[in-house]
Structure 1
């Protein structure tokens, strides 16, 4: 006769431990730096594109250079809205779903995100093809300059859907915590754009010379290929999400989850572009040397923005997954550490050029008037770069928490200070240095306002 052992004494098969999400458990700063590095490398590709396109268009003549200046704000608006604003909303929604352990919801969100990106791209195409000439005329485009702008604009914005899909699908992948594939895609896109744009624009390798339309065609071809690759990657089963087209159905809640962050975030790039356009218009009254000096100094500001972008985009899935898992304290820690890291990195460079502006200015000009204006800008605005970098990074972190309202309000304050204060100073015949000090003060207020808004906003339910 055998006696059964008590149930609690019977040997049991070993149960494997539940898989853990590294973004929820790993040390914050090392993980953040690991995620930020690929984004920073991808931004280098974007910078190379800007340099290459400027070089190509410069060879085409003065009117094409002036024409691209008219189109550039709208190109930047398209990129910033699709990659940073709506893209942040996409990454936020997907990472929060994954943090809550709901992979099916994350996959469904990805398909809804693609539809939003496609519709937004079509909207930009219709708007720019219908009203592009009016926009460029309003900015001062006339004669040959306007026609050169239209050549570039018509080609590029006819395929705006490709730009939106690349940035939207890249944001889907980033939302899973994978920064490598989006970065590799963007670098490849940049290389294709440089090669094809140069060949078609300048007529290299025996190809016809299409001028501005050819340069734009390079960008269009590159983003089309990039969108096709990311779409293939997401449906091939190689990504961290398995997309289920068979069981897909439209769900209003999915659109709301993305748009409640992405739609509000779209106000931020609008504010940025308006701030630049308004201040440029005001400075035009100070003469060509002052305007050129500001352009040279602000160019460094734009090149430093990708550093804050890299930290910010890296923080979105970390914050989002923590929020989805109910780890609100960790989510806030990620945001503060990312903001401080971005502020220190960008601020250090700002302080260096504020103390030694010639390190930057001498690379581009030897004209005494332009050098003086650019140096003045860096002296006054450089120390404020830290606050700007922190504000930009925290704006992205707040997207991960789906609490983006405060940073957008801080951006509005910056716009009003630069616009209203600039017009007032101009009416008082204030020197250009006062204008540059105003820009620096607006950056400080933007950064501190963003910090305060996140400090006072309750994260979590």
Structure 2
């Protein structure tokens, strides 16, 4: 069988050494443990040959459900902290952007690099590398976790003061931050182990572990914040401690599973190799830059909107919250695309990898465009959930009127970014993110701050930036720039 790529035939190759070969029925009768091997082989066959959209949704839905549950838990915890007073809420708000940065880098940044390396190794049948990559991911989790802990403990006090607020809010931020970032290593272990499992096609275990922990947090967090029975009242420190305990327990569960080798991945001592770190980081480092770019763009646009007053800022904040609310769906779909593209790229099935990518883009684009068109027509249905102030609603509605019709471009860029990670070539999505930051951030800020542009023009520039990024990504995918086989 041949696939035609870049104008020349490329032989489609099957893995020379399947990690989990098919087992005859009589062999399984003699060896019951081989049933699991057959199931793993069946999954590999589905990822390589099964129907694209059903397989994609099978991988995506558990992750989407878990992320939505985590979002709900964050809202519930904020509700609990609200009983401690305004200063406690401000303290959590000061820490949130940096805890979110850690989460996005470990999940979608370096985590994307781990999932990509695992998927490509599985597709190529490199079983030794498959297990060694798990060990390398764990090493990276410890290193990055310690870096975040050190940065928070050493730089947190000065950093939180730069954002303003009262001394009481700063003290609350430090109490919360110290416990949250003390658990940075467990956070990274959970997210990178989950990424490794997703990269192999196992979305069930990370989903069950995370969902169970999220439910427990709903009860654990108030017990530590307000006290319960023998548990003393810890205040905002209890909120941070509950997060640390959750990630520590979840990390132990995932590591124990990988050590026991009950899945296709087996965590065991292996030789540390630079090439495996490079395989993870050449994707993960650029993906991490993309997460920083996205957050930086939001910060700069927010600052530009601030020129139009507090109510404008509130309206934009309420409208832009929808963008973040949709990320769990896009992330779940994107990680399934990453896994499928990575495995098929590793196996040399580039024609199928491309079909997977475009199927994901079409699915994500239609979903986002449907939501965007709806809120563009009925913006007050969303804004009204947060504020009844007419001035706030006016700004929020303006943003959704102008940007909403281009949500499809945002979805396409997001999914193509994950597809490029799966193929091991994230350069073009990163360049697209840079272009989006320059247009929406730099150009938008300059027009408002130095040329007196109104906020409607700022929102139009933001929409144009999303379209420009989508065009760059689509052109790279259509031209074959992210599908070349590495020699």
- Counterpart for residue 471 of structure 2: 448
Farther off after superposition, 334-343 or 447-456: 447-456
- Counterpart for residue 4 of structure 1: none
Q: How does 1:403-418 map to 2 (within 5 A)?
A: 403-418=425-440
- Counterpart for residue 133 of structure 2: 109
Q: How does 1:1-400 map to 2 (within 5 A)?
A: 21-204=45-228, 207-245=231-269, 248-400=270-422
CA distance in 1, matches of 2:204, 2:375: 32
**5+ long unaligned stretches in structure 2:** 1-22, 26-37
1:28 shift after superposition? 0.7
Count of residues in correspondence between the two structures? 445
Tell me, yes or no, if the aligned pair for 2:73 and 2:218 is still in contact at 8 Å.
yes
- Counterpart for residue 460 of structure 2: 437
Tell me, yes or no, if the aligned pair for 2:420 and 2:482 is still in contact at 8 Å.
no
Q: What are the Cα deviations for residues 330-355 of structure 1, in whole angstroms up to 9, with x where unaligned?
A: 11111111111111112211110110
1:311 shift after superposition? 0.8
3-state secondary structure, aligned to 1:241: coil
CA distance in 1, matches of 2:76, 2:428: 37
CA distance in 1, matches of 2:387, 2:416: 35
Tell me, yes or no, if the aligned pair for 2:145 and 2:185 is still in contact at 8 Å.
yes
Matched, 1:423 2:437: no
CA distance in 2, matches of 1:107, 1:444: 40
Tell me, yes or no, if the aligned pair for 2:334 and 2:414 is still in contact at 8 Å.
yes
CA distance in 2, matches of 1:391, 1:184: 29
CA distance in 2, matches of 1:200, 1:69: 19
**5+ long unaligned stretches in structure 1:** 1-14
TM-score, normalised relative to structure 2: 0.88
3-state secondary structure, aligned to 2:326: helix
CA distance in 2, matches of 1:30, 1:345: 16
1:40 shift after superposition? 0.9
Structure 1 residues 293 and 336, CA gap change in structure 2 (3 angstroms): same
CA distance in 2, matches of 1:44, 1:141: 31
3-state secondary structure, aligned to 2:202: coil
CA distance in 2, matches of 1:423, 1:242: 49
1:204 shift after superposition? 4.6
3-state secondary structure, aligned to 1:60: coil
1:141 shift after superposition? 4.2
3-state secondary structure, aligned to 2:62: helix
Structure 1 residues 285 and 148, CA gap change in structure 2 (3 angstroms): farther
1:395 shift after superposition? 0.8
1:54 shift after superposition? 1.8
CA distance in 2, matches of 1:327, 1:30: 19
CA distance in 1, matches of 2:83, 2:473: 42
Q: CA RMSD in A?
A: 1.8
1:209 shift after superposition? 2.5
Structure 1 residues 205 and 422, CA gap change in structure 2 (3 angstroms): farther
Tell me, yes or no, if the aligned pair for 1:354 and 1:380 is still in contact at 8 Å.
yes
CA distance in 1, matches of 2:78, 2:482: 45
1:323 shift after superposition? 0.9
TM-score, normalised relative to structure 1: 0.93
Tell me, yes or no, if the aligned pair for 1:195 and 1:218 is still in contact at 8 Å.
no
Moved over 6 A (4+): none
1:308 shift after superposition? 1.0
1:61 shift after superposition? 1.5
CA distance in 1, matches of 2:230, 2:294: 41
